[in-house]
Structure 1
Amino acid sequence: MRTAGSTPVPKQDRSRATRRRLLEAAVACLAERGWAGSTVGVVAERAGVSRGAAQHHFPTREDLFTAAVEYVAEERSAALRTLLSPARMIVGPARTYAVLDALVGLFTGPLFRAALQLWVAAAYEEPLRERVVALEARVGRDVHRMAVELLGADEARPGVRETVQGFLDMARGLGLANLLTDDGARRSRVVGQWTALVDDALRPAPYEH
């Protein structure tokens, strides 16, 4: 109910806010409860909206959870892109380490846990599989493109593309290791080693100058 003197919130803004709450609640539920424990009703309750409101925005369970993982992936990518700010960006190995460490963060938080639950469910849920395969391909391309941009990598040089992709594949492995135990200390050492490898791959050979 609106109190006297308050400004009404436009319907479009309320709808956008409800959608955002549902997406964030869906990711949290997937990460904590898994696919089997994450129903539309559970997500709606967590988001503080009715089941009918949830189904108005997302008619099916598959619509809700694939949209949720995609939404949070886009939010995380946007946050990481602040590393491109000239005022914040350092140079040399320290810059490479900061970028690689931030990218690893994509695979060690609730988003990765939620995405993994979707992958497992998609192996057994036919209606979900096609959506998840397409989503993973799109997110994978976006993360690779962002890594190249943040690192200032020239993929026209032999081996650079494979080095960047190899690092991202390794980062997923670190994310899996982190599911069971806090692997922070080991992760830091691995990122340090990959910093040297990536720096070496990105550095032009003397004859290329």
Structure 2
Amino acid sequence: MATPTRVPQEERTRAMRLRLLEATVELLVEKGYGGTSTTLVSQRAGVSRGAQLHHFPTKNDLVLAAVVHLAEVRGAEVAQAAGALRGGQRRTREVLQVLADHFTGPVFAAALELWVAARTDETLREAVGPLEGHIGREVHRLTVEALGIDESRPGARELVQGTLDMVRGLGLANTLTDDSARRARILDAWARVLDDHLEAP
């Protein structure tokens, strides 16, 4: 009879922490920052309160770790989607769809909860601010690469940043109602604007 393989303690600890962080993100999406508690997180993660408190003694400890986790997940999400894009005539519109999917997805909704909470929580703001800056730069870089934009051209950088600001705004509009039909029309029109810029001499 085969001897059961023992999972090293370090690996078990890492898996437990990941479950806690993923549970935190899920609850931020479902219940908001105010409705997320350490008790609910431990229940959702299937982790004892004692183990959860050992790793994250307070809600702030848990949420700050979730901020870092969210930053990694969001960056990986966009990079993976951008890497799967095809070439061809519709590429610009597909790039915009990747961005729209990111800014209307559950990971962005969780991040949004943290933004709102960070507005009045200095400790949280100090953690969220630099990470959002890092994510913003990474999404900007991926967008430039995916669209093949030469940022040395006058106005090109501002056009990319304006695109990201617009799509982020469309994501915010989607938090209260299903805005998908209007969003699709706007993205269709904006894809033509970007293509005109890309094709201009």
Q: Give the whole-Å Cα distance in 1 for the aligned partners of 2:141 and 2:54.
A: 34
Supply the RMSD in Å over aligned alpha carbons: 2.2
Q: Give the whole-Å Cα distance in 1 for the aligned partners of 2:71 and 2:188.
A: 25
Summarize deviations over 1:100-127 as a string: whole Å, max 9, x none. 1011111101112211111111122222
Q: Which residue of 2 aligns with 1:20?
A: 18
Query: 1:84, CA displacement in angstroms?
Result: 5.2
| Closer/same/farther in 2, CA of residues 168 and 21 from structure 1, 3 Å limit | same
Query: 1:18, CA displacement in angstroms?
Result: 1.3
Partner AA of 2:160 in structure 1: V
Determine if contact 2:71/2:131 at 8 Å carries over to the other structure: no
Q: Give the whole-Å Cα distance in 2 for the aligned partners of 1:101 and 1:190.
A: 11
Partner AA of 1:65 in structure 2: V
Query: 1:60, CA displacement in angstroms?
Result: 3.9
Q: Which residue of 2 aligns with 1:91?
A: 88
Partner AA of 2:196 in structure 1: D
Partner AA of 2:54 in structure 1: H
Q: Give the whole-Å Cα distance in 2 for the aligned partners of 1:54 and 1:83.
A: 33
Matches within 5 A, 1:1-209: 5-83=3-81, 85=83, 89-92=86-89, 94-205=90-201
Secondary structure of the structure 1 residue equivalent to 2:104? coil
Secondary structure of the structure 2 residue equivalent to 1:182? coil
Q: Give the whole-Å Cα distance in 2 for the aligned partners of 1:187 and 1:154.
A: 26
Secondary structure of the structure 2 residue equivalent to 1:106? helix
| Closer/same/farther in 2, CA of residues 88 and 149 from structure 1, 3 Å limit | closer
Determine if contact 1:83/1:150 at 8 Å carries over to the other structure: no
Query: 1:82, CA displacement in angstroms?
Result: 3.6
TM-score, normalization by structure 1: 0.86
| Closer/same/farther in 2, CA of residues 124 and 20 from structure 1, 3 Å limit | same
Q: Give the whole-Å Cα distance in 1 for the aligned partners of 2:133 and 2:157.
A: 17
Partner AA of 2:25 in structure 1: V
Q: How many residues align?
A: 201
Q: Give the whole-Å Cα distance in 2 for the aligned partners of 1:70 and 1:203.
A: 39
| Closer/same/farther in 2, CA of residues 48 and 116 from structure 1, 3 Å limit | same
The answer for unaligned runs of 5 or more in structure 2 is none
